Structure 1
């Protein structure tokens, strides 16, 4: 690269322009990818924040519902499950920011360095051409001045050696630049897909739990309880939730082992939300407690029968 007689000067220019175009193309495309993935990550962060708001509304509703006990328990359980989903979405945002957006942002510096290497090689090449012109003039104007001709030849030889060394280094750097670009782009795109697959896989599992929690709401029992309270509105209403709901709610009292409290403060925040909403407990505990649904439903059914017996006794 960048070697040969003066008849190949056009080839040098073509090679230099080709490398310059490659650097410019990579810089432009990686810049666009960085902006696009950055926007995607920020949109995901805003969706996470809106999910936090939704879980807060569901939890407040559950706490304020004092008549429909089944509905209150269902809303409480649903809010905990949705909070777990937003935990995974928060991990998704952090991984996208670190493994995708962060890697793309580095290419601004990488392209700048590659452009500087090319500029240095071009300068060395121009210096070699200048030394060759000096030698040609010396031979043409003072062909018998061996001292001046020898000095010009010596300077040209030094410039040629430097040019050869610089051109070899540029060739290696250019190939390394192209190889690293291909490898890193493939890696970060694979990371993006894997991050999305991991989140959506967990989301499907938790959404399945959420669907079952919604189906567990017993509208008939809640309606009957409403009718009883309507007949005796002065009677205090029990605010106890089911054993299953209490079991899930107790998870909120335990810190999550998956990350420190300070990690939440470093996540990417959306412009619409300036304050961080506290998150729930261990995600694994949520899944473990959901497996005991049948036993807790039986307990809740027994409690409902006892309430009916007590009510009938009071009526008699």
Structure 2
């Protein structure tokens, strides 16, 4: 809409220029009439013609002035109307923006009011106990643990399961290594020249 004011401003400037031209023409005719009255006060015919020209210039000036006033009034009316529309649109957009902001802040405030500090504290304690390798199920029995805690406990349990077979394998290898020398000693005690003692004696 602001682009339309370019043509309106040009038109208004043209009207103002025309008004100044007509006004200057009226002033010149008045000056001529005064000079004629001073130089030839007895020449009534020339004075009458000059007065007629002055009257015509005055009529043109009045008509141009009225038209200029109407043009300026219409321009001012349209300008104020457009400014009103611009500011109404701007204020409407700002109200919508701030209404949305108030809605978001209200939701955030309600979320903060519903914040459960004890639950987060219990989750934190459960995580800390999981790091140190022991869990207290009583902490989780009185509340609903968050999904992050459940995922953390599951990962800790999986790691414990992965490491347990390795430790058992190492212990079994150590035991087998300890039992090997004992079997070698028994084999030396039971040489080829030593007879095995009967485990049972038959009664006659």
Q: Determine which structure has more spread, i.e. the larger CA radius of gyration.
A: 2
Instruction: Give the structure-2-normalised TM-score.
Output: 0.47
Bigger relative contact order (CA 8 A; separation at least 6): 1
Q: TM-score, normalised by structure 1?
A: 0.33
